[in-house]
Amino acid sequence: MSDSSSVGGTNIEGESPQLEPTIETDEATITDDAELERTLGLSGGLAIGIGTMIGAGIFVFPGLAAGRAGPAAAGSFAIGALVALLVALPASELATAMPKSGGGYYYISRGLGALAGTVVGLSLWFGLVFATAFYLVGFGYYAVDTLAELGVAVGDGLVIPLALLFGAGFTVLNVTGTENAAKLQNGIVALLLSILAVFLGYGGLDAVGLLGDPSTPEQFAPFGTMPVLTTAALVFTSYLGFAQVATVAGEMKDPGRNLPLAMVGSVLIVGVLYVATIFVATSAFGGDRLAELGETAMVEVGRHYLGAAGAVAIVFGGLLATMSSANASVLSTSRAIYAVSKDALLPRRASRINLRYGTPHVALGMAGGPILALVATGRVEVLAEVASFLHLVMYGLICVALLALRRDEPEWYDPDFRAPGYPVVPILGALASFALIGFMQRTSQLVGIAIMVATAGWYAYYARDVTLKGALQ
């Protein structure tokens, strides 16, 4: 395990980035002494992307978003999809050039250097932690609603305790569980898509007046255009999943083909579903009513169209979706921490694997602990926005990294997929990502900035001498 590159340097503990030459094939990564099997196919990649995203956008946000923007919330989701797409294309190019664990962190540290890398790598960790906390609170709401459907009315007071309980259990399961849940995740996503296809198909036909009584359409944008933009900033959390696909890039088969398809494909699929969901939801109830119903508004929408069966299906779907979002995010978090610690930006022991279960218990603990603390705050909107904030910074920088790499075209830079529309797409992607941050609540912006400043401070204290730019392994 010797350094093979001139770049490197050491952190404050004397650890240096572990850089080794590798050969990437479609089926494995080959290092000097070992091979790393690529085991995720396209469906696995799509399941991670869609599974991460769908929980938030369909099962948590419709009520909140419609309350803010009325039926025009569909436009907010469409704006989110557009921004996500503008970033997914450059991110796909970088992912095929560097199909490694760590995703966005990896491209930015190699394209823009160690400072930007540390800020993004640690922000990605915190961003995922905020996102997971958000999914868990959503889960808590659905757990309470499930009990209500079963005839046990416990009230919203139990949302946070249930979310905490599940979050803790979930962290323990991730440390001790050696069963491969990947197939389960694929099944859950397939099941969710089926439920949604039936629900949106029926609801859509009903809403346009082909079935049932025609609904009276509300004014499209009752609050004007500004809420549409702020709502877009809020609901952008629904589009964070495509970057999670990149964190498992090192394990994707045929990455040159599967990574772009999984990233761009999952954004397109969930984008269409989100817009359709808002359309169906706002056709059932007015924005005010949806806002009153809050996080689990979709349950009532299900009841409106399909009666008790519809409500049960949505409650069940919501439980599954929020769980799968949380699961996929925790997996990404441990990979994000590993990628940073491998590069000596965090202590090496952060990526230790325990002998008993073969799981990265330190990294999982570094994910689980803060997640529980954040769940306890119960601030759904702030959690979602900070998660988006930290991801959007990374997205913007991914676009910048693409511009930097394309300008120099270093010798090692040989992506299988080249983003169309260069340089317009990455420039727009960067601008849109940074602009969306401007439409968030002040609290979220301050928390996000504080975290970034803290990560930059960490770099200055801990890893000042580490250099990573262009260090390909």
Interaction site with another protein (CB under 8 A):
1, 18, 27-29, 31, 33-37, 39-40, 101, 174-175, 177-182, 248, 250-251, 330-331, 334-335, 338, 342, 351-353, 357-360, 364
Nearer to another protein, 174 or 277 (CB): 174
Nearer to another protein, 37 or 414 (CB): 37
Q: Residue 102: left if φ>0, alpha if ψ -120 to 50, beta else—which one?
A: left
**Nearest one of 183, 335, 321 to 246, comparing CA atoms:** 335
- Return d(Cα 430, Cα 407) in angstroms, integer: 16
User: Shortest Cβ distance from residue 22 to another protein (Å)?
Assistant: 9
User: Shortest Cβ distance from residue 72 to another protein (Å)?
Assistant: 40
Nearer to another protein, 182 or 261 (CB): 182
User: Shortest Cβ distance from residue 369 to another protein (Å)?
Assistant: 16
Two structure tokens written together for 83: 């921004």
User: Shortest Cβ distance from residue 184 to another protein (Å)?
Assistant: 10
Q: Residue 409: left if φ>0, alpha if ψ -120 to 50, beta else—which one?
A: left
**Nearest one of 196, 220, 236, 191 to 59, comparing CA atoms:** 196
Two structure tokens written together for 275: 């817009």
Cβ contacts of residue 28 below 8 Å, gap of 6+?
35, 36, 37, 38
User: Shortest Cβ distance from residue 349 to another protein (Å)?
Assistant: 11
DSSP state of 248: B
Integer CA distances (angstroms), 152 to 11, 144, 147, 320, 357, in order? 55, 9, 5, 20, 37
- Return d(Cα 235, Cα 428) in angstroms, integer: 20
Rg, C-alpha atoms of the chain: 22
DSSP state of 216: P
Nearer to another protein, 182 or 435 (CB): 182
User: Shortest Cβ distance from residue 183 to another protein (Å)?
Assistant: 10
Contact between 271 and 57 under an 8 Å Cβ cutoff? The reply is no
Contact between 245 and 94 under an 8 Å Cβ cutoff? The reply is no
Amino acid letter, 468: L
Nearer to another protein, 92 or 351 (CB): 351
**Nearest one of 394, 406, 383 to 433, comparing CA atoms:** 394
Nearer to another protein, 22 or 215 (CB): 22
Nearer to another protein, 228 or 331 (CB): 331
Nearer to another protein, 54 or 175 (CB): 175
User: Shortest Cβ distance from residue 177 to another protein (Å)?
Assistant: 7
User: Shortest Cβ distance from residue 133 to another protein (Å)?
Assistant: 19
User: Shortest Cβ distance from residue 251 to another protein (Å)?
Assistant: 7
Nearer to another protein, 349 or 418 (CB): 349
**Nearest one of 307, 241, 250 to 87, comparing CA atoms:** 241
**Nearest one of 335, 318, 188 to 248, comparing CA atoms:** 335
DSSP state of 98: S
